């Protein structure tokens, strides 16, 4: 769709004259476009195509993206945004026995690609787990008006009272099952994917 839109607007496809020339006269589909986009990539398209869950690429050392290599400095606090922030109030408290859900990444996974599978845990403060009759290792159901998921409780003091945490993109414990498109962030208009209230309860033996 973007390549066709660019063509009708008289613009280079994908803002690249080189790629526009390479695609000229070809019948475009996802495969052709992806192959063109990866023409100068470190991994050939055929290799990427055969790995639907991603490839762990160790070709870049930590720290490769440093200010000295950027084409220009990044403005992390542009005045229009900071002005909006100054006029916006944020709420992150939960009531009626609910907790605030924050999602997290794990050291052994990149989004849906698990490099070294590990148990998916719902991190809870001891005060919150005790209030719900949960102990370390118990199965729990996390729910919102949009949906629910299950996870194994991990009781830890490294998380604040009133806050729980799940990694995202992991099977039946996927925090995305709890989110909704009904609400949106007032500044970015993006769906709220973290910092929302959830109910946590012990799972039934059959659940």
Render pLDDT for 32-85 as a digit per residue (tens, 0 to 9): 888 877 777 888 888 888 887 778 777 777 777 676 777 777 788 889 888 888
Answer yes or no: are the C-beta atoms of 82 and 88 closer than 8 Å.
no
Give the separation between CA 80 and CA 77, rounded to whole angstroms. 8
Taking CA atoms, 154 is separated from 144, 151, 196, in Å, by: 20, 9, 20
Chain segment 9-21, per-residue pLDDT in tens: 888 877 778 778 8
Instruction: Give the β-pairing of 121-124 and 148-155.
Output: parallel
Q: CA-to-CA distance for 116 and 131, rounded, in angstroms?
A: 33
What is the rounded CA–CA span in Å between residue 72 and residue 40? 23
| Count of Cβ atoms closer than 10 Å to residue 203 Cβ | 17
Residues 198, 163 contacting (CB under 8 angstroms): no
Q: How far is CA 147 from CA 80, 121, 136, 142, 144, in A?
A: 36, 18, 24, 9, 5
The predicted structure's pLDDT at residue 207: 43
Instruction: Decide if 162 contacts 100 (C-beta within 8 A).
Output: yes
Q: Report the DSSP beta bridge partners of residue 163.
A: 100
Classify the C-alpha dihedral 18-24-29-31 as positive or negative.
negative
Query: What's the longest Cα–Cα distance across the chain?
Result: 66
Residue 157's contacts (CB-CB under 8 Å, 6 or more residues apart) are 125, 126
Under the banding of pLDDT at 50, 70 and 90, the label for residue 171 is low
The domain segmentation of the chain, as residue ranges, is 2-55, 99-202
Q: pLDDT > 90: what percent of the chain?
A: 25
pTM to 2 decimal places: 0.59
pLDDT, tens digit, 9 for 90 and up, residues 89-124: 666 566 678 999 998 877 666 555 555 556 679 999
CATH code for residues 99-202: 2.40.40.20
Contacts of range 77-81, beta carbons closer than 8 Å, 24 or more positions apart: 81/187
């Amino acid at each position: 769709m973007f390549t066709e839109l660019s063509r009708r607007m008289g613009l280079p496809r994908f803002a690249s004259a080189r790629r526009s020339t390479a695609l000229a006269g070809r019948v475009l589909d996802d495969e052709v476009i992806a192959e063109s986009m990866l023409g100068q990539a470190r991994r050939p398209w055929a290799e990427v195509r055969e790995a639907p869950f991603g490839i762990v690429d160790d070709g870049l050392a930590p720290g490769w993206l440093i200010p000295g290599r950027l084409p220009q400095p990044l403005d992390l606090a542009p005045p229009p945004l900071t002005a909006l922030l100054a006029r916006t109030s944020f709420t992150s408290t939960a009531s009626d026995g609910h907790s605030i859900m924050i999602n997290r990444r794990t050291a052994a996974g990149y989004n849906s690609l698990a490099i070294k599978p590990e148990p998916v845990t719902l991190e809870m403060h001891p005060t919150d787990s005790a209030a719900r009759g949960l102990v370390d290792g118990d199965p729990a159901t996390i729910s919102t008006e949009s949906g629910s998921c299950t996870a194994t409780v991990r009781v830890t003091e490294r998380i604040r009272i009133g806050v729980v945490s799940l990694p995202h993109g992991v099977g039946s414990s996927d925090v995305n099952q709890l989110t909704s498109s009904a609400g949106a962030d007032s500044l970015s208009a993006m769906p709220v994917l973290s910092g929302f209230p959830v109910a946590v309860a012990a799972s039934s033996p059959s659940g």
